[in-house]
Every structure is written in C-alpha cells, then in structure tokens.
Structure 1
Amino acid sequence: MQRFTGKTVVITGASSGIGAAAARRFGREGANVVLVSRTQEKLEKVARDIASARVVAADLSTREGVAKASEEARVAFGRVDVLVNNAGTAVTGSIEVVDEAGFDKVMETDVTAVWRLTKALWPSLKAAQGNVVMTSSVSGIGGDWGMHAYNTAKGAITNLTRALALDARDSGVRVNAVNPSFTKSELTADMLDNKQLVDKFIERIPLGRPAEPEDIGDVIAFLASDDARFVNGVNLPVDGGLSASNGQPPQA
C-alpha cells in the first residue's frame, strides 16, 4: 500500500519503540516523515530506513523544544498532514514516593508538550485536512498500582483526544488515539527483564504476549489513513484483548 504518498507525517518519540515502528511503516507507504526526539544519533539511525525523512532533535518538555520542532516540521516538506503525538515518559511510585519534580516531568512531557505541539501545527493540519493520532495507553483508561503520575497524564490524553475531535468539527481534522497495553520498548526495558512480572502480564493478555512496537505502529498508520476517514474521537485499545476482561483472574 502507498496510502501516504505525497503526505508529510510528523512523529514524536520517533527514535525508538512505537515511534520508530510507526515511522518505518509510514515510510514504507510513501510518506515524507519528520522524526522528532531528543537524541540526534538515534533519530538518524531510524531515518536511514526511510526513503524521505528529516530529523529534529528537540526536548518537547520545553517551550523552546516545541517551537523548534514545530517550525522545522512545517518547513521540512512544505506541509503537515499527520501529527503522531507519541513521545512520553513515566515515573513509578505512590503519592508518598513521587516528588513534585517527577510529577512535573511526566505532565510536561506527556500532556503539556502534546497540547503545545498540536496547537502549533493545527493551522498546517487544518490546511491539509489532516489528522492527529495520540499514543495514550490502557493506563489512560484504568488505573495501575504505583503509576499514578503516568495514569494522570494518559487519562488527560485520552480525554484530550475526545475533546479535540469535538472542537475540530468544522476544521476537517480528525483526532484519534491508540491505547496500547504492555509493549516492548525502551520505556519498559526494566520490566521486560523481570520474568515473573512479564509472566503476570502474559497471564492477563488473551493473545498471550506483550505487544511488539510494530503492533501499535501499524494501527497508528491505519487511524491516520483514509481507510479510517469516518473514525474520529476514538481511543482504540491495542492491547491483545486485555480490556475484554472484567478484571477477575483466569479460572482455568
């Protein structure tokens, strides 16, 4: 398929994991891809797999980083058709453990940066009749033990997705989100090293494995494509069936 030929896709958190997988998928389908993350070297490695790519090294948790990313994204290929807000971070611990600096870091990266970049690129998206895809999480639909900061941030993204879709009614811009469950990535590297913990996750996921980044990246591409032209304001679980459960343990 070549669903994105001539279109420009901006992806944050594109240096690894879901972002890199999505970037490669869009590239295979003919897109011009603008890859945004903090680390130039990692971005360049991903860009080598994409025929038409630009890299922007920027810290999106700062106003300056967002300004740099939005300006370079606009001029890279002369248009912006799709924005994938994928960059994110997390801190673990109860409210007694997480300090204000840690909480602020999660909110600045996972929520405020998303709002700022979407706002900055909105005129371009509107001109292109484009769309936004957020990377939220199953943690933005229900709570986790010891993850209240991340849950707060992803809960905000889940509802921001809905609210922006409503406000975009007359703009022609669609806004959707994917809500992944446990996914192999740099963010979950420590968890993946804990076999006992991984086994607990697998027990709860009907498909019996963690997600690969490509499992999520492919769905992001679907939501951004014209195949999903009447899909709007949706938070789509990409969770191997996790959300099909009522929470009770397996009986057999």
Structure 2
Amino acid sequence: MSGYLETKNLSVGYHGKPLIEDVSLCVQRGKIVTLIGPNGSGKSTILKTVIGQLPELSGTVYLDGETMCSRSRNDVARRMAILMTARVEPELMTCRDVVSSGRYPYTGRLGVLRDEDKKIVEQSLSQVDALAFADAPFSAVSDGQRQRILLARALCQQPQLIVLDEPTSFLDIRYKLELLSVLKRMVRENDLAVLLSLHELDLARRISDTVICVAGDRIDRVGLPAEIFTSDYIAKIYHMEPGKYDPCFDSLEFVPGGAK
C-alpha cells in the first residue's frame, strides 16, 4: 500500500558522503511511524533529508504521489508541517501569535489573517488544550506548553503530514505523556500521517504503528512494536554488552503493559 510520504533508494549524509543508504520509508495517513536508534545513528539526518533541509545524495522523496523537488515551498508547507528539536525563541509574541504563524502558507507575504484563518487558529489551540494560556507570552510558558503551542502551529497549517524530531526532548514525564497523547488524538481526528524520532523506547512502543530501527550505517529493522521491542533486539541495536549493567536490569522486558 502506498503512503502519503515515501522514499525510494534514498541515501542520506553530509558533504556528498553517504551515511545511510537505501532508506525506504512509507508513512500512511492515520498512522505514526517512529525512528529509534542510538544517539548519532542518523535519525535526524534522515528526517532533515525528508523535509528538504539536507539534499538527497541519491534516490527520491515522494509527498502525496509527487516528488518533493517538483513541489513549490508553499505547496509543501500546505501538506507537511515540521517540528524539529531546535528551541524556538520568538520575541514579543504571544502563544496565539506563534500559532497564527502557521497560517502564513495561506495568507501571503503580508500575513493578514482572515476570519477563516482566525477560526482555524482557535481550533488548533483547542485541539492541543492550549486556550487557557493562548495570550501568555511564548517566552513565559513552560517547555511542555511550548511544545503544545508548536504542535498547534503545525496543525494550523492544515497539513496531511507532520514530521517531528525528538519532540519530547527537554520535557518531564508528565509533559511527554501529555504531548504524545495529544499527537495520537490528532492522528485519529485529522487522519494525519506522522513521522517522528524518539529516544524514549517505552513511549515509542506505545505510540507507534510502525517502528524503524536506525543503526548508524543502515536501516536495521522495520516492524510492528511487538516485533521490535524485545529484550534481545533492543540490547543488540543499542550495543548493551552483557556484564556492564547491574543485575537488577537483566529482567527488564518490553511487554504490552510496559517494562517490568
């Protein structure tokens, strides 16, 4: 089955030197595909190539059946929203202002919001449960609230695809769970396609429909969470050598109810 986002024979890397070759992704509407792997394994490189921040070394990225390079920047922005790891620090902007900037692909250079645009801004704030602090300065809210605002900004673009690079970084466990719960609900309600990377394996197991394991020089395995999150495989991909850890961790297993 074809996906809303697909890559074929994709090689990614820097300065013309491949890091990972033959990257094949397929992200369908209504599904969450998650990249996992050790730090420095290439997850962010894959995402940056998919969204066009890095050039493809070879191969092709398809968005809704057409190559990314054949679409205008504005056309891509109406179909794909991006939430990357770098912190956003807009000056003198309220949370509502930040969310409103998601309408720029539709408002033109002047950025004047029509009544329809304002309605979409309010709907987006409501979907991420952010109306209560919408008028607060963006610089004054918590990291968890900021991530929800950035998610609302992505929603405001009315995309069919959202790409997120480690969206739970800097967040405590409460805000991690809240953010991913909102994201899961958005996928159901808006029939979104989602591609993201995560460090937290138990959260990745819970939220993902498909998991892609990045091993530094290759895509090592693609499968359902139940197929990926076994003690033996996780130990292998994260290079967890026997004897280097306290025996109390030896019995950790990924099971449907969580780690035990």
Q: How high is the TM-score relative to the length of structure 1?
A: 0.33
- Larger RCO, structures 1/2 (Cα 8 Å, 6+ apart): 2
Higher helix share: 1
Larger Rg: 2
TM-score by length of 2: 0.32
Write 1 or 2 for the structure with the bigger share of strand: 2
